[in-house]
Structure 1
Amino acid sequence: MSQMKNFTKGFLKENPVFVLLLGMCPTLGVTSSAINGMGMGLATTFVLVMANFVVSLVKSGIPDKVRIPSFIVIIATFVTIVQLTMQAYLPSLYESLGLFIPLIVVNCIVLGRAEAFASKNTVWSSIVDGLGMGLGFTFALTLLGAVREFLGSGKVFGLTIYPEHYGSLIFVLAPGAFIALGYLIAIINKLKKA
């Protein structure tokens, strides 16, 4: 039961984007479309799960003085794997996400979960926590990207819902990320209180 609680807290109680307000740089930077949001979210999920797995395995062998640098090296290893794989097999998504892929290394969600959870818990609990937080992050980025894409261009995942000339350009641009995120956070807060 506690494993399920660890898994669902990333979606509900401790969603990294809507509740904890972590990882705002990629959240605002790459969510101009639903596919970009999903791609970034899944890349971060992979890194989060694998980093939590390795950190929980080697936690007893890492001296306190080099704990954070060690976590960053572990995270950077998996970010490099994601980056090279995406560059080889998903070049258009890789181009679209650009600099935000290497920035996963310093994403406070990944480093925070390695420090706060994986370094203090079992391997299985750490994997479940990473998966829950990662999928919660993916959900948030995909939802924000879908809202922005729908309002800005009349599409969702590239499928036309209404003619593009009825869309509002601001939602495709940077200010639209702030506006859409603000409204989504307000809606989620309202639903949590209900």
Structure 2
Amino acid sequence: MKGLAFWPNGFKHITNSEREIKEPSDLKGLKIRTHGGEILNDSYKQFGAASTKIAFNDVYQALQLGTIDGQENNLTNIKSQSYDEVQGYLSLTNHTRTEYGLVANKGWWDDLNDQTKKLLSDAVDEATKKGRELAKKESEEALKEIEAAGKMKVHKMTEEEHDKFVQILQPVIDKWSKKMDPEIIENILDMQK
């Protein structure tokens, strides 16, 4: 495969039905739906919470039935899935991003002439830039709609609160940064501020 770009779907935030999340200890004992994976599992374990993998289409019902206490998602999904109907709290944590990898078959790509590669690369760059602008705009609009509906109490984390999350996650960051490029870890931490 030939990697072409990462297309954005926005920062993730946490909703739940129990309490406002202002610091890591507020997550203790909660069951949070995630898309799974070792890093997320390690992170939620560090908070004293459970990372529970549930199919996206089943999340609303799981929240409604109390199978899980909360979930993490971008604002556009939180709004479009009407999670404010079954969740009382939204914490704007910016704790991770959803990015979709855009790839091409390497053999196909390698067979293209240089002019075609440049045209495609330029088009992908432009689409990526536009996608980032749209994702940001859609997130801002979704937040305004969520706040206007008034069904969820929205907490906008301060820098100090965010730093507490980073501090408690330091063991997870240390563990996984040994397996990743340190520059990538630094960029991730910078993006979340």
The normalised TM-score by structure 1 is 0.25
Largest Rg, 1 or 2: 2
Q: TM-score, normalized by length of structure 2?
A: 0.25
Could you say which structure has the higher strand fraction?
A: 2
